[in-house]
Structure 1
Amino acid sequence: MNRPPIEAFSSREDLYDAAASVLVSALTTAVAERGQAGFAATGGTTPAPVYDRLATMTAPWDKVVVTLSDDRFVPPSHAGSNEGLVRRHLLVGEAAKAEFAPLYFEGASQEESALKAEEGVAAASPFGAVLLGVGADGHFASLFPGSPVLAQGLDPETHRLVLAAPAGHPAPDIPRLSLTFAALTRADLIMLLVTGEAKRALLEGPIDPALPVASILKQDRAMVRILWAE
């Protein structure tokens, strides 16, 4: 498996600076080439400082459609909502001009939300940039090992862009909505943003091809960059 090299930074602040710079460049290039750019953002604590930086940077935000790689099936007001995180940290300042395509829809069931989200995700793709984290178990987005929707989620030929991922053991703890591998790889750039030695070891060592992240690393649809700091 030909994997991209890990780009290591001496501090997390340097990591966040570099990630924001790479992402805004990719989005700006995509707008110049296609007239618009989609950005699939991820959740968690690590990307929030990247979003804070992006929100202050000059880019053609009015031609950018932001969506999510995945989200918990909770309203944006919930502390665990990725939509809430992105609205607080990214869709402010300069970046408030961007359009947003949600995965969660109030009053809809989990499966209904997944189906309703497909229109917005399709409008955002192909993505100028996708930002993903990687779990210690090798998951990305909400495609977890052992999930009953994992096979469909990783199927490169699936027609689905968004799936309803049920809660499971040991993860995820609550139902989620997730973009599929097929949707996420319709992109110019996929950035894996990772911190900590455990995840570096996972990505540097021999990777079990059964782990979900192996699909991202071995595909040739989108360029992958791995940015890391302790």
Structure 2
Amino acid sequence: MSKVVIETFDSRDAAYDAAAEAVAEALRAGLRTKGYASLAGAGGSTPAPVYERLSAMPLAWDQVTAALVDERFVPNTAPDSNEKLLREHLLKDQAAKARFTPMYSDGAPSEAAAVASKTHAKLLPLDAVLLGMGEDGHFASLFPDNPALEEGLDLSSRKVVIAAPAGEPAPPQTRLTFTLAALAQSRSLVLLVTGAAKKAVVEAALDDPARYPIGAVFAQTKAPVRVLWAA
């Protein structure tokens, strides 16, 4: 049902190298055609080495705007803030000149989502998106059985950012997240996964997209998708 294939690498370092180059090439393409480019990146530990590699690349970073695909509803000073992670691993060295558009803001989650929808709409279409995935098949903050999942996966939605409430089994805290409709406008979607368990989830989602949220990424036909995997 999908033309997406799993690109397998001999080591995680090789996968990180490939992910960094894929993101960089999409940014270069945006810079060539428009004179500016935008990137949305995932949080978590998996993409951090990719950000480290990107931060050392000689791009026209002063014409690049970085953002997050999702954010925990916490200030950027909190230890588990995705913004904090991005600032520590990407927005330094060569990439220190890049602009950053935050997703979190004070107020109720719904209010913060409305603010972020306006600011992040200015970044669309994104040139590069680096996604991660959980073993439950979630991407960004679109979790199985979460009340926000249906709205988040609706490709006809005009919303750019929505709030995903804390729930069972996940997430344990409220989050803000790009919708798939917004992400699907991108020049390039790169999904980086590691480990046998996540590979099995990707394979299952490629076979039956409705089984996991990540399957909706594979099923959409608007944006090209690359899946990079290493044990």
Normalised by the shorter chain, which TM-score bucket?
over 0.9
| Alignment of 1:127 onto 2:126 | yes
Q: What CA distance in whole angstroms lies between the structure 1 residues aligned with 2:24 and 2:74?
A: 29
The aligned residue for residue 137 of structure 2 is 138
Is there any run of 5+ residues in structure 1 with no aligned partner, and where? none
AA at the equivalent of 1:46: T
Deviation, 1:190, is: 0.3
User: Equivalences for 1:4-15 in 2 at 5 Å?
Assistant: 4-15=4-15
4+ residue runs over 6 A deviation: none
AA at the equivalent of 1:222: A
The aligned residue for residue 87 of structure 2 is 87
The aligned residue for residue 55 of structure 2 is 55
User: Equivalences for 1:1-230 in 2 at 5 Å?
Assistant: 1-105=1-105, 107-205=106-204, 206-230=207-231
AA at the equivalent of 2:64: V
Q: What CA distance in whole angstroms lies between the structure 1 residues aligned with 2:168 and 2:3?
A: 30
Deviation, 1:3, is: 3.5
Deviation, 1:203, is: 1.4
1:200-226 Cα distance to aligned partner (Å, 9 max, x none): 112123335142111100111100000
Q: What CA distance in whole angstroms lies between the structure 1 residues aligned with 2:185 and 2:227?
A: 18
Instruction: Look up the SS of the partner of 1:130 in the other structure.
Output: strand
Assess if the C-alpha contact under 8 Å between 1:41 and 1:68 holds in 2: yes
Q: What CA distance in whole angstroms lies between the structure 2 residues aligned with 1:41 and 1:203?
A: 19
1:53-90 Cα distance to aligned partner (Å, 9 max, x none): 10010112111111110010001111111000001110
Assess if the C-alpha contact under 8 Å between 1:118 and 1:161 holds in 2: yes
AA at the equivalent of 1:219: Q
Instruction: Look up the SS of the partner of 1:7 in the other structure.
Output: strand
Q: What CA distance in whole angstroms lies between the structure 2 residues aligned with 1:84 and 1:50?
A: 15
AA at the equivalent of 1:134: M
AA at the equivalent of 2:45: T
Assess if the C-alpha contact under 8 Å between 1:37 and 1:125 holds in 2: no
Assess if the C-alpha contact under 8 Å between 2:133 and 2:193 holds in 1: yes
TM-score by length of 2: 0.96
Deviation, 1:35, is: 2.1
Q: What CA distance in whole angstroms lies between the structure 1 residues aligned with 2:27 and 2:209?
A: 32
Q: What CA distance in whole angstroms lies between the structure 1 residues aligned with 2:213 and 2:221?
A: 15
The percent of aligned pairs where both chains have the same amino acid is: 47
Q: What CA distance in whole angstroms lies between the structure 2 residues aligned with 1:62 and 1:125?
A: 18
Instruction: Look up the SS of the partner of 2:76 in the other structure.
Output: coil
Q: What CA distance in whole angstroms lies between the structure 1 residues aligned with 2:34 and 2:125?
A: 10
TM-score by length of 1: 0.96
